[in-house]
Amino acid sequence: MKNIGISLVDFTPGRMGGVETYVRNLVSWLAVNDYENRYTLICTDHNVGYFDAIIDRVETLVFKNDKNSPGRLLRSLARKILRVDMVQVDIDRLGLDLLHNPFTSVRCSKFKTPLIVTFHDIQHHYYPEFFKAKDVRGRDRVYRKATVEANKIIADSHHTKQTLIDSYKVPDDHINVVHLGVGSEYRKIDDQTFLDLERANLGLTKPFLYYPAATWLHKNHINLLRAVTILKSHYHFDGDLVLTGVATSAKDSLMTKILELGLQDSVHILGYLPYDKLPVIYNLARMMVFPSLFEGFGFPALEAMACGCPVVCSNVTSLPEVAGDAAGYFDPTSPENIAACINMLWHNDDALQIMREAGIDRAKRFTWEKTARLTREIYMQTAQ
């Protein structure tokens, strides 16, 4: 039996998008299904309750991380003055056989405990303009250090693996690709009465395109809005655009652009929704559109396909790897191309039905059971 630690020190539920989905499902599956090893969750006082449902199957270590707590202050002083990370020192004292940090934003230096780090993407290296200059420098410094200090790296996709090889010169055999999964809650819903009621409750009276994404700049909402304008002016588009996701600092520019383009009656912003609402909206949507400029994996494409929702998405980064031949593709830098791709399918019921069936079949290849099993195998290969 191995004692495996999973670091949740940097875990902020409700603000991490797909990374939260990954951590929730990986930890839950391992805790419930792996009886051959012992797991210790290294939490803070802010996130320790997140895994209450499985707490009897795992041990927890809680670091006080409130802004005004003495522990946080002392750790901050030790890190700045002595160049010592007390969290790391305390983790090494646990005598773990392995530590897994499932977040890209890892602070590591000279862990005595064998270390695995999951890299979700290194977007800052390709789109530094989407970050503050100091954040680019900070990420680059921390990420490069992690690639050196980690005994093994897990990448969400072959695309992410290749970016690590190309940008940070990480050896090929140092990186294992483990695709992420999709839960059984993402499925086709056959209860039409239920769906009609949900549609009415949400006020979605027209057929709609659906884009679930936080308003980060790389999610490319502005080009999607421009594409909707083209659809309406050139293709007599009769639908709406529905947006969900966490609001970020870019939301103000998004709202301004909606007004500038005169789309206030065509765009519905539902904000951040509970996870159980997402499968419903995928089932209600005529199509899911995903114009992101950069993805390390691309959960929405997989979730939509599992629900039988046709997907049209960017032809860049990891999205073709995830969606395969089950999606339609466009150039995300071209609003005209986005609009043309959507229009080609919007009124074609036969093509959409083929995409629904292909998407459901494609999504079956990605399960959390497989993600957790492959991750556990890497644990066993790396643990001391």
Whether 129 and 212 share a structural domain: no
Residue 219: inside a domain: yes
Residue 187: inside a domain: no
Residue 115: inside a domain: yes
**Pairing of β 208-212 and β 287-290:** parallel
Contact indicator for 284, 260 with CB cutoff of 8 Å: no
- Taking the C-alpha atoms of residue 210 and residue 263, their distance in angstroms, rounded to an integer, is 15
pLDDT class of 82 with cuts at 50, 70, 90: very low
Question: In the beta sheet, which residues pair with residue 269?
Answer: 243
Whether 172 and 275 share a structural domain: no
Q: Among 226-230, 247-251, 327-331, which stretch is predicted with the lowest mean pLDDT?
A: 247-251
Angle formed by the axes of helices 221-234 and 335-346, nearest 10°: 60
Whether 203 and 338 share a structural domain: yes
Whether 202 and 109 share a structural domain: no
- The 3-state DSSP class for residue 153 equals strand
Residue 159: inside a domain: yes
Total count of domains within the chain: 2
Contact indicator for 29, 369 with CB cutoff of 8 Å: yes
pTM of the model: 0.90
Residue 186: inside a domain: no
- 15 CB-near residues (< 8 Å, 6+ apart): 246
- Taking the C-alpha atoms of residue 211 and residue 299, their distance in angstroms, rounded to an integer, is 12
Torsion over CA of 13, 37, 94 and 50, rounded to 10 degrees? 20
Whether 115 and 201 share a structural domain: no
Whether 108 and 203 share a structural domain: no
For the ranges 98-102, 137-141, 338-342, the maximum mean pLDDT occurs at 338-342
pLDDT at 111 over 90: no
Whether 238 and 301 share a structural domain: yes
Whether 316 and 206 share a structural domain: yes
Question: In the beta sheet, which residues pair with residue 4?
Answer: 39, 98
- Taking the C-alpha atoms of residue 243 and residue 11, their distance in angstroms, rounded to an integer, is 25
Q: Among 79-83, 91-95, 346-350, which stretch is predicted with the lowest mean pLDDT?
A: 79-83
Write out pLDDT tens, residues 287-343. 999 999 999 999 999 999 999 999 999 999 999 999 999 999 999 999 999 999 999
pLDDT class of 384 with cuts at 50, 70, 90: low
pLDDT at 355 over 80: yes
- Taking the C-alpha atoms of residue 367 and residue 182, their distance in angstroms, rounded to an integer, is 5
Query: How high is the pLDDT of residue 364?
Result: 97
pLDDT class of 18 with cuts at 50, 70, 90: confident
Q: Across all residues in the chain, what is the average pLDDT?
A: 91
Residue 316: inside a domain: yes
Residue with tokens 């093509």: 351
Q: Domain with 150 in it: what CATH number?
A: 3.40.50.2000
Phi-psi region of 169 (alpha: psi -120 to 50; beta: other; left: phi over 0): left
Domain that includes residue 67, residue range: 3-181+368-382
Whether 160 and 261 share a structural domain: no
Residue 292: inside a domain: yes
Whether 245 and 261 share a structural domain: yes
% pLDDT > 70, the chain: 92
Which is higher by pLDDT, 53 or 244? Answer: 244
Residue with tokens 């522990």: 71
- 14 CB-near residues (< 8 Å, 6+ apart): 20, 246, 272
pLDDT class of 246 with cuts at 50, 70, 90: confident
- Taking the C-alpha atoms of residue 31 and residue 3, their distance in angstroms, rounded to an integer, is 12
Whether 202 and 350 share a structural domain: yes
Summarize the confidence of residues 51-78 as an average pLDDT: 69
pLDDT at 109 over 80: no
Whether 239 and 347 share a structural domain: yes
Query: How high is the pLDDT of residue 67?
Result: 57
